[in-house]
Amino acid sequence: MNNILIKNALIVSMDEKREDFFYGDILVSGDKIENIAERPGKITAQGPHQVIDGSGLLIMPGLINTHGHAAMSIFRGYADDLPLKKWLENKIWPIEAKLQSDDVYWGTMLSIAEMIRGGTTTFTDMYYYMDRVAEAVSESGIRAVLSRGMIGLDFDLEKGFEDSRSFINNWHGAENGRVSVILGPHSAYGGSGDFIQRVVDFAAETGRPLQIHLAETRDEVDGCLEEHGCSSTMMLAEAGFFDFKVIAAHCVHLSDTDINILAEKNVGVSHNPGSNLKLGSGIAPVKKLLEKGIKVGIGTDGAASNNNLDMIEEMRLAALISKGFNMDPTALNAGTALQMACPMGAEILGLEKNGILKAGYSADLIGLRLDRPHLTPLHDPLAHLVYASAAADVDLVMVDGRILFQDGNFKTLDEERIRFEASRCAGRLTNDGKDS
């Protein structure tokens, strides 16, 4: 068993039983955190171990991206400055129809490289060719919660259910639990009349949680009101969808009744501020959601609509737009933004031993360099993490006790090859002459 001792670091553990931050040591044994000391030099590692000098590092839990479509990184910049409906129907869906499994694999690898560089240790995904996504997760060492996207309008809807069932059997719990599989119906509007009921039955059969796009645009809500006489949130509730564990992405256009339903049903929400702003979808009522006791995580969405997968940027956006939208500088403080990006994210994804640095929890952690002009002076580390830090400050990334990135170098990925292969796939899909 490999032991790693990180000494003399500034630690932000996100453990409510400890101080917000303190200088100390962390001992990792195998895939778990064995001990955390709130004073440097108090831990002595037994047996063979690696020592990391934490001087000048801030160590915190890895960031948890609660919503995305990783392979869409190969569409980055392809269809910008369009509203969601036109973006999907005129640009994204036609090019997705040409996707092959290698495109998904290399697009996912490109996203994983970007996420690891930026301190993300867990990501959530909903897409196609999910076995190839799981392969990328396996090879890279990152943690992921994955689902095969299902759209009820598909000409081959049955294949969506068959693929999902096979994916659960083949991959759920794989890689020492780093791979979790859930169900991924795209949306309440993305299907025929009985689609949601069939998904509910499928959830009962498999026992797996669900993730779905919910109340993302005004058009979605208005369309559901016109067709069903109620909001998409209410329609899902009446169908029994929320009787299962659900992660609802976006949740921009919610009435007070909708919010009460989400609170009563303990639905987890993934807030995607960058994507919602760029697509002109609106601003989610995060302050109201949190006040109702709803757990809210943070997601990037896909790189085709963001256009990056920078969770530090998303934390900052979440805090700033909530302050501006509510005209209240206290509406969402730095500590809350960090909670959303770490322990709340872990909770809504059902990852019980993640999101906090604590003995017995998974050794998923990151280290940021503090010797930067934009992080000086260090009055408040929490505020610096949300309002001042950058993805480029990440200097150490560990998942399950395995170092994936350190001192600017990947330990499990060939970044140059990933960039080449992803560009080649993008060139073929967009017919820009890079590949035939």
What whole-number distance in Å separates Cα of residue 52 and Cα of residue 33? 15
Which 8-state DSSP code applies to residue 187?
A: B
Task: Give me the pLDDT at residue 93, please.
Answer: 85
Amino acid sitting at position 349: L
**Under 8 Å between Cβ of 374 and 402:** no
Burial readout 99-133 (b: 16 or more C-beta within 10 A, e: otherwise): beeebbbbbbbbbbbbbbbbbbbbbbbbbbbbbbb
Identify any residues that bridge with 181 across adjacent strands, giving them in sequence order.
Answer: 146
Look at residues 246, 238, 153 and name the one whose alpha carbon lies nearest to residue 195.
153
Provide the pLDDT for residue 98: 93
Cα 172 to Cα 134: distance, rounded to the nearest angstrom = 10
Dihedral pair phi/psi, residue 46, rounded to 5°:
-95, 145
List per-residue pLDDT tens for the chain, 436 residues long: 679 999 999 999 999 999 999 999 999 999 999 999 999 999 987 777 899 999 999 999 999 999 999 999 999 999 899 888 888 889 888 999 999 999 999 999 999 999 999 999 999 999 999 999 999 999 999 999 999 999 876 667 888 999 999 999 999 999 999 999 999 999 988 666 689 999 999 999 999 999 999 999 999 999 999 988 999 999 999 999 999 999 999 999 999 999 999 999 999 999 999 999 999 999 999 999 999 999 999 999 999 999 999 999 999 999 999 999 999 999 999 999 999 999 999 999 999 999 999 999 999 999 999 999 999 999 999 999 999 999 999 999 999 999 999 999 999 999 999 999 999 999 999 875 444 3
Alpha-carbon gap, residue 271 to 298, rounded angstroms: 5
Q: Which two tokens stand for residue 295?
A: 């757990």
Nearest-10 Cα torsion for 399, 400, 406, 408 = -20
Kindly list the structural domains of the chain, giving each domain's residue range(s) and its CATH number in brackets, ordered by start: 3-62+357-410 (2.30.40.10), 63-348 (3.20.20.140)
The kind and range of the H/E element at 289 are helix 286-291
Residue 390 is predicted with a pLDDT of: 98
* pLDDT at residue 155, as a whole number: 62
Give the CA radius of gyration of the chain. 21
SS3 42: coil
Q: For Cα atoms 93, 95, 97, give the angle at the middle one, nearest 5 degrees.
A: 70
Q: What's the pLDDT score for residue 154? A: 62
* pLDDT value of residue 431: 78
Residue 326 buriedness (CB in 10 A; 0-12 / 13-18 / 19+)? middle
User: The pTM is what?
Assistant: 0.96
